[in-house]
Structure 1
């Protein structure tokens, strides 16, 4: 249900000289006279008191519990977002009765964790956006902040999904130990019987023969591989496909196939992620983001070392 979507933050400056396009991406802490880290911090702080309306998308938002680690150039905390404009009934799932009616000017607020790492001297930064049941908030944050960034620097900020080879290098040789088909619908008769027991979501787990694997994680992104062909065949039978991989005794679940965003799989939360009332605990999700950042940094920032040991 909970997952992270990783993005690459960059700023293209046509005034920079260079033979390659990559040479024209500016160092993020030297965008003219501005530091991107400071601009994100200033914007978040300006929107951390009260809720703010976004009329175009009928959303409200506020930042809460934000932490700014200036020394290590980390920013993280809650981006609270809600939708308004539609009247609906709010029912109690235990009784099946309506507890109250959500009016058009009411908004249901959901807490999403956001996390930024912008090391000094690099033209790339990492951003993680927490999603719940596939609902994320990257688009809203980017639309809001890019205008602020442009007004200050006169340049455009880019925030694109991290490419597979750059983001998942640490896990590409991990062994696939399990395939999960979510909302598997091929066996309709059996599914109908399961629903009568009160179970609303079917999940089919496929495991390899003993002491065997389903290949490497990287195989699932090679369109010519047997793994990728199998995923393509299974995709119409379920809402999404996940693979559980193992490397050096550690496990990680990735969403793969057509439901994975922009050829980069979302990173599903570990099974032991601590929750409070369905929401991740702050310290738990921050630790998770720290771990994933370390993995990405080894590829993106060679020689930097651990992000918390600069």
Structure 2
């Protein structure tokens, strides 16, 4: 349901000339006369606490409860966003009765945790953005920050998904705990039963037997010729997507099988053993604490050997 998507933060200089020894990407605290950390902070503060409308996409948003940590150059808080423009009903799933008639000018607002880390002396920072059921706020948030950034600096702000090319090396020796088959098409009798329950999307989860394990190591699911890889080859035509949940030192990560390991996009599902849930939403303090360990993990992989700590 809830997950954290990590992105890199970089500043591209379209006017740089590599022939003259000029770097394509600027050091984040030296973008000309500007510091990216200060630019982000000033922009967020200027937004205030009121909701703002983006008419082009029929969205509303606001920054809420954002805290700034100048010493570690982090900022954390909430980015609340939603869509308007469609009239529909909100029902009680237990009774089927309409609880609320959502008008065309109403918007359902979802809170997304956001966290930025913009270090001194590096040309790459990190953003952690919360998603819910695969729906995130990266496009809207990036558009807002990029427009202001370009206006002030005349440079281009980039926020690209952090791949697991480096971090995967840490996880390839982990044990696979679950295999998730999304939109599973095999075994018609099973999917028929699921459909009767009203699910829009069927998902079959394969777990190891008690005290057992799924295969040997996570890397075996990506290695042609292995028994695990052959199983994946058999299952792939039967579903839209195959994911493996791996566990290492008590931490869990989800990987999409079928995509080369070096192209893995990190999808970090919330670990409900560490993050408390209240009415379906992560409790802020435990979420922040959990994301601190995630951020440190990415810092270690992006700036190896430099012992950067937050």
Could you say whether these structures have the same fold, taking a TM-score greater than 0.5 normalized by the shorter chain as the test? yes
Offset of residue 3 of structure 1: 0.9
Task: Provide the rounded CA distance (Å) in 1 between the counterparts of 2:279 and 2:21.
Answer: 47
Offset of residue 95 of structure 1: 1.3
Provide the aligned C-alpha RMSD in A. 3.0
Task: Provide the rounded CA distance (Å) in 1 between the counterparts of 2:298 and 2:29.
Answer: 20
Match of residue 285 from structure 2:
283
Paired residues for 1:1-310 under 5 Å? 1-16=1-16, 18=18, 23-194=23-194, 196=196, 202-208=202-208, 212-220=213-221, 227=228, 230-231=231-232, 233-238=234-239, 240-248=241-249, 250-257=250-257, 263-272=264-273, 273-308=275-310
Aligned residue pair count: 306
Task: Provide the rounded CA distance (Å) in 2 between the counterparts of 1:19 and 1:34.
Answer: 24
Note the alpha carbon deviations across 1:125-173, whole angstroms, 9 max, x for none: 0111111001011011011110100011110011111122134443233
Secondary structure (helix, strand or coil) at the match of 2:43 reads helix
Secondary structure (helix, strand or coil) at the match of 1:179 reads strand
Which runs of 5 or more residues in structure 1 are unaligned? Answer: none
Task: Provide the rounded CA distance (Å) in 2 between the counterparts of 1:102 and 1:236.
Answer: 40
Task: Provide the rounded CA distance (Å) in 1 between the counterparts of 2:156 and 2:226.
Answer: 38
Note the alpha carbon deviations across 1:215-266, whole angstroms, 9 max, x for none: 4334555678665664465345345433221223x13130414799x74131
Q: TM-score, normalised by structure 1?
A: 0.87
Secondary structure (helix, strand or coil) at the match of 1:31 reads coil
Note the alpha carbon deviations across 1:92-121, whole angstroms, 9 max, x for none: 112101112111100000111111111111
Is the contact made by 1:4 and 1:130 (CA closer than 8 Å) also made in structure 2?
Answer: yes
Note the alpha carbon deviations across 1:65-109, whole angstroms, 9 max, x for none: 112111111111111001000010111112101112111100000
